[in-house]
A and B are shown apart, each in its own frame.
Chain A
Amino acid sequence: MLGKIAKLSMLFSASTVLAACTVTPPSGGQKNLTPTDAEIEQYNARVAPEERIVCRLEKPVGTYIAKRVCRLQIDVDSTSSLHRQQLRRVLN
């Protein structure tokens, strides 16, 4: 009985591995998930300043590997000012 279970679990794990192999990853990988610099520039040329997007390389906490992140300029500005305010409150 135990042997049967072991065989079944091996079969299951093998099929899982095979299934994992057939899963199609998003084309282009992480790099192509964010818009290119040209696309951003074209978009920014059409919209009002508050709707502009900025993309930059950021290193998330816990890793040295930088990741390209795109945000609205207005969000970047408001987050920065919020962080500055919080820091000032802590220091005072």
Chain B
Amino acid sequence: MFSNFPLLISTFRPALIPTRALALLALVTASAFAQESTEQASYNNIYKQVRTEQLLELGQQQMFERDFAGAEKTFLEALQIAKVNYGLSAPQQRNALRYVIESQLAQEKWEQAGRQLNYFEWLNDEIYTRDFYDYLLGTEQLSDILLRASANADNSNSTRYLLAAKNLNWRAVSGIEATLGENHVELTPWLYNIVLAHYYQISLLKRPPMFNDVVTAEGEDEWRGRTLAKGESLRISYRIGKDLLQRIVDIYTAAEDSPLESSALARLYLADWELLFGLESAALALYQQVFEELLDLGVSPARANALFQHPRVLPVPTIATSLPQMEIQLRERPIRFEAWTPNYPATALPKPQLAVTSGTAERFKSTLRFNLVPLLPEVLMTNQRSIKLGFNLRNLEVISVSPEEEQLREQALYEVSLLQLRPALENGLPIVTENVELEYLFAPQSETLSLREN
């Protein structure tokens, strides 16, 4: 309306208009111009990249305040700006897109989040041919989002997201093989991610509802559908995990740039895998081999023993392939276990960005004490029979629990009994460890679930 105003007044004859009115008109015109130019400027500013950063910051603040709908709107706006500024297939969208998905997942908008996840995947595939390392970065981001979605106990599609994350890691492996070669060290974290995904898959079998075999009796026949699937699933996951861990060992054995101890330390995770699947004798032989390999490389017995002097909860979330790296991992005392999600019992939070948000402000935790009693290898050899060793927790007791509730005490005992630990080793042999203290942080959503039950 104001844009035509100056033209209108110029057609008037000045003599017909009093001077005061003219002055007033001039003032109004000037202010109209000023307003128009501000609007123009603000229109230009809408798509300034700096606004994306401001919006992302605002959105994160809204997420923190649990205003997920507001955050989604803010992040979508930031995404739009990135699209306008850089183009539809530009990697700069990923940051905003990641947050959009997170805000939608927080609102349990599974369908919308699914669509955005597909868009993220399409975008990442577009980047593959342009910049391979950027594609890997995007793949890692997307894999994290999918894992986080799979960890959400309220998500009915959680298993689907887990499988999607695993497939994404496989595609990254195929990409690295094609670009960098089949024995490149860059493969190892991706291969280990797939191993962990298989562990999450089998941990689904530990979920309380999965314990109940659904038995359908039709006449005299009994159908135990889940038993077969469970066994098959376990065997396949075991074989794949073992193959991949052996491949990691082989890659480090052939790698020239890696520290000498890399292949020996990688073998440790292979031993852990055997232990996780109840193959204790194979695990013990491998632990012994790791210890001897380290000594052969010139590592002092004291330093090698120090690596194994405390039990560790398995599987270890990140692979360490150098002595200093592993020593850093072992510094934490007492053993701290941060449960990830009720979806995957006895599974530690792999990395902070995969934590699921909880409705409760307080984090429930407990400190427990136990003895870890492995039966010694001599027992294995009696009567030439293979006897299951069983690295058992004995005298498990709760020292403290916060908040102090009897039900939580029982929950802590149950959840810790599901954990699998690498025993302490001395000269490569398992030893009894007494009074092991473990700080156990309950999974965020299990707190919500127990509150709901109450």
Contacts and interface: CB of A to CB of B under 8 A. Distances in A.
Contacts, number: 28
B13 interface: no
B167 to A, nearest CB: 4
B240 A38 contact: yes
B240 A45 contact: no
A75 B119 CA distance: 31
Interface stretch (B150-158, B169-177, B297-305): B169-177
B239 A36 contact: yes
A45 B167 contact: yes
A58 interface: no
A53 B133 CA distance: 30
Contacts of B174: 42, 45-46
Interface in B150-201: 166-168, 170-171, 173-174, 194
B243 A38 contact: yes
A46 B170 contact: yes
Contacts of A37: 236, 239-240, 243
Interface residues of B, number: 13
Interface SS of chain A = helix
A46 B171 contact: yes
Nearest to A42: B170
Interface string A55-92: 00000000000000000000000000000000000000
Contact of B171 (A36, A38, A45): A45
A29 B167 CA distance: 30
Nearest to B198: A41
5 closest A-B pairs by CB = A45-B170, A45-B167, A38-B243, A38-B240, A37-B239
B316 interface: no
28 contacts: A36-B239, A36-B240, A36-B243, A37-B236, A37-B239, A37-B240, A37-B243, A38-B239, A38-B240, A38-B243, A38-B244, A41-B166, A41-B170, A41-B194, A41-B240, A42-B170, A42-B173, A42-B174, A44-B167, A45-B166, A45-B167, A45-B168, A45-B170, A45-B171, A45-B174, A46-B170, A46-B171, A46-B174
